[in-house]
Every structure is written in structure tokens, then in C-alpha cells.
């Protein structure tokens, strides 16, 4: 266990330093969610009744945008390992005494760190624009975002190792993520959908995450949607990481 923790720390540092070498990519990735907020937030008031304040509109939009970031910022993490496969990095590491799982965990931690920094910037800008944020809710929301980020990142690495082709991976991830986004209620309220789509949305875990994120941001931490989302994503994260570890062991054998 101690060796796994040590190797994970070392490989996390390696992955992070490799990412920071491309500083332009890092800055663009951090600024992109803020750009969404700056461009779309001024349009929100026109979509609500006059009695709804800008703070209310932001409390609805920003948590949904945060879930969208958790889905898209981490979904394409699998391209990192395809690059390592094609560059021979994975092959070279496979003949070293480093823990195989540490390589996977190190990359996941790197992607989670970048996503959490993006989320913190988004919430900071939302607060500066007049959004109300509940501090207890934010702590719970951070835990939920970590679960979602781990789920999506590990799944992305697993499917990347399974497909081993960047073009096919791009098509597969887009095909999976687009319906999840559209049926989550981030961009358009699900009340506009007809019965079949609303039923499908109930099967979409990210729709539950959006509801929980909006509830947590407003400070209603006793709402049942919160613990339901935690249970759903804890189980999905466990299944995803277990499957990815199995795929990873086979790839490194």
C-alpha cells in the first residue's frame, strides 16, 4: 500500500509537470468555463420572469455548467494515454518496478486537480457576478464533483485503452456525452421535453447531478436529491474504476 501511494505521488507529479509544459493549453482550459459564464450569463435574465433576480438565474445556470464541465473536461482525458501508448511511454513503464495502478491513479489525480481548479474559478466568477453560494453546500458539492470527475476520467481511460485509436475514441466519447448533456437539463429545462424524453432523463445520472448541484449551491443540504446523487455516482465510480483497472492490468501485462 505504501509503495502504491509513493508511486502514485511520483507519477502524479510527472503527469502534472508534463501538462504544465503546455502552458497555453492549461490557460485556455482554465478560462473556457469562465468564458461560457461571461457570454451566457447576460442572456439569463431575458429567459426568466421579471421577479427572478440575476442571482437566482446564476444559481440555476452555474451549477449546471459545473456538471457540464465535469462531463466534458474529463471525458477526453483518454487521449493522454493514447498519446503515451503511441509514444512508447506505457511500454517503457511496464518494464519498471513502478505500480501499474499508480500510473492510472496518477493520471486521474492530475485530471481531477485541473477540473477542480476550473470549477473553483467558475464559482469565484459567479460569486463576483452576484451569485449566492452556501459554504456548507460548496463542500458537499466538491465531493460530488470529485466523484463525477473520477467516474468520467476513469471511464475515458478505460475505453481509450480498449479502443487504442484516437479517431474512434473521439467518435465514441462524443456519441456518449452528447445525449448525457442534452438530457441533463443543463442547456434547456427538462420541463420543455415531452414525456418520453423526461422518462429518459430520469435514467440519466447527470440529470440527478444537476438537480443536486443546484440544490447544494442554494444551501438546501437536506434535500433528498443530494444523497441520491451521491449514492448513484459512488456506485458508478466504483464500477468504472474497477473496470478500468482490469483493462489497465491487461494493457500493461
Residues 144, 230: contact at Cβ < 8 Å? Answer: yes
Rg of the Cα trace of the chain?
19
What is d(CA 144, CA 69) in angstroms, rounded to the nearest whole number?
13
Average pLDDT over residues 150-170: 90
What is d(CA 193, CA 138) in angstroms, rounded to the nearest whole number?
30
Q: Is pLDDT at 158 greater than 80 in this prediction?
A: yes
Q: Quick one: what percent of the chain has pLDDT higher than 70?
A: 86
Q: Which range in 15-24, 31-40, 114-123 is most confidently predicted, on average pLDDT?
A: 114-123
Whether the CA torsion 235, 239, 241, 242 is positive or negative: it is positive
Q: Is pLDDT at 54 greater than 70 in this prediction?
A: no
Q: Is pLDDT at 16 greater than 60 in this prediction?
A: yes
pLDDT of residue 94: 67
Q: Is pLDDT at 239 greater than 90 in this prediction?
A: yes
pLDDT of residue 51: 46
Q: Which phi and psi (to 5°) does residue 112 adopt? A: -65, -40
Give tens-digit pLDDT for 59-99.
778 888 888 888 888 888 888 888 777 777 767 766 677 77
What is d(CA 13, CA 19) in angstroms, rounded to the nearest whole number?
10
Q: Determine the structural domain holding residue 183 and report its residue range.
A: 2-252
pLDDT of residue 238: 95
pTM above 0.85, yes or no: yes
Q: Of 121 and 236, which is predicted with more confidence?
A: 236
Give tens-digit pLDDT for 39-53.
776 666 555 545 455
State the total domains in the chain: 1
Q: Of 233 and 99, which is predicted with more confidence?
A: 233
pLDDT of residue 47: 52
Q: What angle do CA 45, 207, 201 make, to 5 degrees?
A: 110
3-state secondary structure the chain: CHHHHHHHHHHHHHHHHHHHCCHHHHHHHHHHHHHHHHHHHHHHHHHCCCCCCHHHHHHHHHHHHHHHHHHHHHHCCHHHHHHHHHCCHHHHHHCCCCCHHHHHHHHHHHHHHHHHHHHHHHHHHHHHCCCCCCHHHHHHHHHHHHHHHHHHHHHHHHHHHHHCCHHHHHHHHHHHHHHHHHCCCCCCCHHHCCHHHHHHHHCCHHHHHHHHHHHHHHCCCCCHHHHHHHHHHHHHHHHHHHHHHHHHHHHHC
Burial class for 232, CB neighbours closer than 10 Å (0-12, 13-18, 19+): middle
Average pLDDT over residues 130-140: 84
Amino acid at each position: 500500500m505504501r509503495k502504491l501511494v509513493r508511486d502514485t505521488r511520483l507519477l502524479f507529479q510527472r503527469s502534472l509537470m508534463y501538462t504544465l509544459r503546455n502552458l497555453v493549453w492549461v490557460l485556455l482550459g482554465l478560462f473556457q468555463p469562465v468564458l461560457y459564464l461571461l457570454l451566457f450569463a447576460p442572456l439569463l435574465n431575458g429567459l426568466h420572469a421579471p421577479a427572478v433576480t440575476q442571482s437566482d438565474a446564476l444559481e440555476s445556470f452555474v451549477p449546471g455548467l459545473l456538471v457540464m464541465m465535469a462531463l466534458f473536461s474529463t471525458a477526453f482525458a483518454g487521449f493522454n494515454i493514447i498519446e503515451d501508448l503511441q509514444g512508447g511511454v506505457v511500454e517503457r513503464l511496464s518494464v519498471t518496478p513502478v505500480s501499474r495502478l499508480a500510473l492510472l491513479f496518477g493520471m486521474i489525480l492530475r485530471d481531477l486537480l485541473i477540473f477542480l481548479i476550473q470549477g473553483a474559478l467558475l464559482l469565484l466568477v459567479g460569486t463576483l457576478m452576484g451569485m449566492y453560494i452556501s459554504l456548507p453546500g460548496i463542500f458537499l458539492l466538491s465531493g460530488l464533483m470529485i466523484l463525477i470527475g473520477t467516474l468520467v476520467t476513469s471511464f475515458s481511460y478505460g475505453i481509450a485503452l480498449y479502443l487504442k485509436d484516437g479517431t474512434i475514441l473521439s467518435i465514441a466519447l462524443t456519441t456518449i456525452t452528447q445525449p448525457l448533456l442534452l438530457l441533463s437539463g443543463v442547456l434547456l429545462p427538462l420541463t420543455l421535453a415531452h414525456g418520453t424524453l423526461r422518462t429518459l432523463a430520469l435514467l440519466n445520472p447527470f440529470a440527478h447531478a444537476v438537480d443536486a448541484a443546484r440544490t447544494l449551491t442554494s444551501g438546501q443540504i437536506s434535500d433528498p436529491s443530494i444523497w441520491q446523487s451521491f449514492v448513484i455516482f459512488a456506485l458508478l465510480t466504483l464500477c468504472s474504476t474497477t473496470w478500468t483497472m482490469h483493462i489497465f492490468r491487461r494493457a500493461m501485462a
